[in-house]
Amino acid sequence: MIALAGIGVVIAAVVGGYLVAGGKLLVLVQPAEYIVILGAALGSMLIANGPAVIKNLIKQVLNLHKSGPSKKDYLDILVMAYELLTIARRDGVMALEAHIEHPEESAIIGKYPSFAANHHAVGFLSDTMRLIISGSGIQSHDLDALMDLDLEVRHYEHGRPSRVLQVVGDALPGLGIVAAVLGIVITMQAIDGPPEQIGEHVGAALVGTFLGVLCAYGFVQPMAANLAVKADESQSYFRALKQVLLSFHKGSVPAIAVEFARRSLPSDVRPGFTELEDACRATRGGGA
């Protein structure tokens, strides 16, 4: 929501300052300039990227108003992991097979809708647990490297839309100049006309430059930065899962495994030690 508020502030500040200075709002309404700049930006983006990237970009931009994982979301995955690992420690890892093979039917995973709705996270947990349950004998350092590879690929894919927007933002001032030059060409064609007509054409050309610079530094590049931050926040979510699974594979008890994950979280979303302990204890009916 704060991103939408920021867009509103940019528009209000630019337009409000222009009006306070005595500008006429209708002068900024130049459809031809908008078509040239925004159309060329869209076309160049389509040239440089495939359908999968464009689809992912649209999806992330539409979710721009949403925030990243909250402290409650992180607490949920830690407590959920604690419940699953407690079952594995008490009944053996084979007891997790039903939860891993059919996570949508798991009574434990279903208790945490924010995690259950994250299909990538559910898949990461299931795929890694399958390796541990299968008794394949994978070493801890190999499991660590395998999960790192998975997270690296996912982070690269999740971060591509932000890099696309960054490139478009870099190009927009230049496209604004293109629109301005075309406006000057039109002005030169009407150079023998009355001064009012020439001034109108020059004004329209300058709107092109204004629009390119404003879209680049006021909207597109900040949006790219926003998406990059969200990609990093998503990576923290998966890194917590990785720490739980790796610690468990090394033989840590559930309480220690989730503590490793808790310590890997950014401070602004990290649950306190006592907070996590109490939440885990509550899943055991108040037991020690």
Q: Which domain holds residue 69?
A: 30-288
Q: How many domains does the chain have?
A: 1
In a domain, 149, yes or no: yes
With b for 16 or more beta-carbon neighbours within 10 A and e for fewer, the 182-214 pattern comes to bbbeebeeeeeeeeeeeeebeebbbbbbbbbeb
* pLDDT in the model for residue 288: 36
* pLDDT in the model for residue 198: 81
d(CA 207, CA 177): 10
In a domain, 22, yes or no: no
Query: 210-261 pLDDT, tens per residue?
Result: 999 999 999 999 999 999 999 998 899 999 999 999 999 999 999 999 999 9
Which amino acid makes up residue 37? I
In a domain, 16, yes or no: no
* pLDDT in the model for residue 285: 56
In a domain, 15, yes or no: no
In a domain, 104, yes or no: yes
In a domain, 120, yes or no: yes
Residues of the chain with pLDDT under 70: 135-136, 285-288
In a domain, 19, yes or no: no
- Computed over every residue of the chain, the mean pLDDT equals 90
The angle that helices 71-91 and 221-249 make with each other, rounded to 10 degrees, is 20
- Could you tell me the pTM of the whole model? 0.82
Who's near 214: CB < 8 A, 6+ residues apart?
14
In a domain, 101, yes or no: yes
* pLDDT in the model for residue 9: 94
Query: 135-147 pLDDT, tens per residue?
Result: 667 899 999 999 9
Contact 74, 265 (CB under 8 A): yes
